[in-house]
Amino acid sequence: MSHRFLLPRSAPLRSFAAVTVLASSLLLAGCAAAVPLTPAADATNVACADVIVHLPSTVADQASRETNAQATGAWGDPASVLLHCGVTVPVPTTLPCLNINGIDWIEDDSEAPTYRYTTYGRNPAIEIVIDSEAVSGSTALIDVANAVGYLPATGACVGAEDVQLPTDGATSAP
């Protein structure tokens, strides 16, 4: 005795829909989640948009990642390079200043091996946080230089050799 089952005509369509949903879920599970970041105070500055749209797809051989905050960028999985546009413009400091491809960067190594670089002489300022155990900091700064260059330079770092002290014509006492 054989058993026959009668299926409604919509059963193949439901099976197809179930398979499609399952396949989509599996594909999405393989995607990396957005990197959670907090936007900088001046992230809505229109100049940040020029930078963000020109960010490279790779930095220090790390692929770009989606972020969840305005005027930010991230590269690597796990994220080893983080960028924020619109951070507080730095004031003169005694921290080292590097010029890489025409961009002045203040280097803060207080949390080494994580390094924080902030543009100097550009408004809004850009901050890049780099995990130096995963990527080369200088390579990362070179890779983002073109995008950062969309912010016009309004100042530059100077060193002691760049400062000229005024001469007042005073002579030494006899």
Domains of the chain by residue range: 46-157
Q: Can you list the residues of the chain whose pLDDT is less than 70?
A: 1-32, 162-163, 165, 168-174
Q: pLDDT value at position 95?
A: 96
Q: pLDDT value at position 6?
A: 42
CA-CA-CA-CA torsion sign (23, 24, 28, 29): negative
> What's the rounded Cα separation, in Å, for the pair 97 and 122?
14
pLDDT in tens, 136-163: 999 999 999 999 999 999 999 987 776 6
Q: pTM score, two decimals?
A: 0.75
Non-local CB neighbours of 170 within 8 Å, separated by 6+ positions: none
